[in-house]
Structure 1
Amino acid sequence: MKFPCRIDKFVSHINELPRSKVKILIKKGEVSINGIVTKKSDVQITREDSIELSGKQLKYLGKRYFMLNKPQGYVCANSDELHPTVFDLLDEPNLKDFHVAGRLDIDTTGLVLITNDGDWSHQITSPKKQKYKTYLVETKEIITEEALEQLRHGVALHNEKQLTRPAQAQAVDKYALRLSICEGKYHQVKRMLAAVSNHVVELHREKISDIELDSKLSAGEYRPLTEHEINIINAK
């Protein structure tokens, strides 16, 4: 939310109420600015003003950032008619302006970053920013050195004209590898493994840039990012 802004817009945003209903409440004298009741919906307020609705102070929480350990079965969308979303796992106010910075497929688990800061998330999602996402990949077939070398140099995805950007690929055991990519093409990791004649059995994101999934978070749990973690994205 940008300041200064209209009082009706602010109250509507904080309480997730229709603007029309907020205007009625304002006319009834339910809204005050710095202790003074206002009945005008178009009054401009600043971030420093104290706003109350029916005697309850409304607080703008500003930019917020969370990491979530995504379980299987949840989609990275604000709403979905068929499946639960990652936002169903967050017990936080005013989430309508939030989005996922780098989505995961419904069957993929691990690190998801959620924020209402569009500029910050752009640093993560734009291929030009070279923010690597690291995945632990379990595969159906044995991981060969030849396949690793292909992934490191870039592979041709089905229906794509250009090769993928060079990835960081390291074998973990016979049927698992750690793969880091700086792109976000549709089903990219699965398609990359298909391009080297393999198949993804399980996929788990461990890291975005230098932000690692907190090992203390069980599947479905989340926490706010630390200031250091937030600044990692802005610094690179």
Structure 2
Amino acid sequence: MKFPCRIDKFVSHINELPRSKVKILIKKGEVTINGIVTKKSDVQISANDLIEVSGKQLKYLGKRYFMLNKPQGYVCANHDELHPTVFDLLNEPNLKDFHVAGRLDIDTTGLVLITNDGDWSHQITSPKKQKFKTYLVETKEIITEESLENLRQGVALHNEKQLTRPAQAEAIDKYALRLSICEGKYHQVKRMLAAVENHVVELHREKISDITLDANLAQGEYRPLTQQEVDIINAK
């Protein structure tokens, strides 16, 4: 939300009410600005104004940032008619303004960042910003040194003209590798493994830039980012 803004827009946003109902509250004298009743819906307010509705103070919480350990079966969307979404796992107010900074497929687990700060999330999702996302990949076939080197150099994806950007790839064991990429193409990790004649069995995101999934978060749990974690994205 940007300030200054109309009083009816602010109350509607915070209380998640239709603007028409907010205007009725204002006409009834239920809304005050800095202790003074207002009956005009188009009055402009600042972020520092004290707004009360029926004696209850409304607070704009500002920019917020969360880390979620995503389970399988959840989609990274605000709404979905067929599947639960990652937002169903968050018990927070005013989630309609939030979005996922770097989506995961429904069957992929791990680190998801959720925010209402568009500029911050752009730093993560834009390929130009070179923010690496790190995945733990379990595969159907044995990981060969040749396939690792191909992933590091860039591979040709199906229906793509350009090679993928150079990745960081290291084998963990015969059927697992750690892969870091700085792009976000559709099903990219799965397509990259297919390009080296392998198949992804399980996929888990461990890290975005230098933000690592909190080991204390069980699947489906979340927490706010620390200021240090927020600053990591802005600093690079």
- Decide: shared fold, TM above 0.5: yes
Q: Which residue of structure 2 aligns with residue 233 of structure 1?
A: 233
Amino acid at match of 2:91: D
Residue 27 (structure 1) aligned with residue 27 (structure 2): yes
Shift of 1:35: 0.8
Report the Cα distance in structure 1 between the residues aligned to 2:79 and 2:223, rounded to whole angstroms. Answer: 21
Shift of 1:57: 0.3
Runs of 4+ in structure 1 displaced over 2 angstroms?
A: none
Equivalent positions of 1:17-166 (< 5 A) are: 17-166=17-166
Secondary structure at the residue paired with 1:96?
A: helix
CA deviation map 1:36-58 (0-9, x unaligned):
11110011111110000111000
Q: Which residue of structure 1 aligns with residue 178 of structure 2?
A: 178
Secondary structure at the residue paired with 1:25?
A: helix
Q: Which residue of structure 2 aligns with residue 188 of structure 1?
A: 188
Report the Cα distance in structure 1 between the residues aligned to 2:101 and 2:69, rounded to whole angstroms. Answer: 14
Report the Cα distance in structure 2 between the residues aligned to 1:199 and 1:21, rounded to whole angstroms. Answer: 53
Q: Percent identity?
A: 90
CA deviation map 1:108-138 (0-9, x unaligned):
0000000000000000000000000000000
Q: Which residue of structure 2 aligns with residue 205 of structure 1?
A: 205
Amino acid at match of 1:189: V
Q: Give the TM-score of the pair, scaled to structure 1.
A: 1.00
Report the Cα distance in structure 1 between the residues aligned to 2:104 and 2:15, rounded to whole angstroms. Answer: 30
CA deviation map 1:70-94 (0-9, x unaligned):
0000000000000000000000000
Report the Cα distance in structure 2 between the residues aligned to 1:67 and 1:200, rounded to whole angstroms. Answer: 25
Q: Which residue of structure 1 aligns with residue 2 of structure 2?
A: 2
Q: CA RMSD in A?
A: 0.3
Report the Cα distance in structure 2 between the residues aligned to 1:46 and 1:124, rounded to whole angstroms. Answer: 30
Shift of 1:163: 0.3
Shift of 1:194: 0.2
Amino acid at match of 1:15: N
Shift of 1:218: 0.1
Secondary structure at the residue paired with 2:179?
A: strand
Secondary structure at the residue paired with 1:191?
A: helix
Structure 1 runs not aligned, ≥5 long? none
Report the Cα distance in structure 1 between the residues aligned to 2:54 and 2:77, rounded to whole angstroms. Answer: 33
**How many residue pairs end up in the alignment?**
236
Secondary structure at the residue paired with 2:96?
A: coil
Report the Cα distance in structure 2 between the residues aligned to 1:166 and 1:47, rounded to whole angstroms. Answer: 44
Q: Give the TM-score of the pair, scaled to structure 2.
A: 1.00
CA deviation map 1:49-68 (0-9, x unaligned):
00001110000000000000
Report the Cα distance in structure 2 between the residues aligned to 1:9 and 1:101, rounded to whole angstroms. Answer: 26
Report the Cα distance in structure 1 between the residues aligned to 2:31 and 2:51, rounded to whole angstroms. Answer: 7
Q: Which residue of structure 2 aligns with residue 221 of structure 1?
A: 221
Shift of 1:95: 0.5
Secondary structure at the residue paired with 2:17?
A: coil
Report the Cα distance in structure 1 between the residues aligned to 2:137 and 2:54, rounded to whole angstroms. Answer: 53
Amino acid at match of 2:42: D
Report the Cα distance in structure 2 between the residues aligned to 1:48 and 1:209, rounded to whole angstroms. Answer: 34
Moved more, 18-27 or 210-219: 18-27
Report the Cα distance in structure 2 between the residues aligned to 1:2 and 1:122, rounded to whole angstroms. Answer: 18
Structure 2 runs not aligned, ≥5 long? none
Amino acid at match of 1:17: L
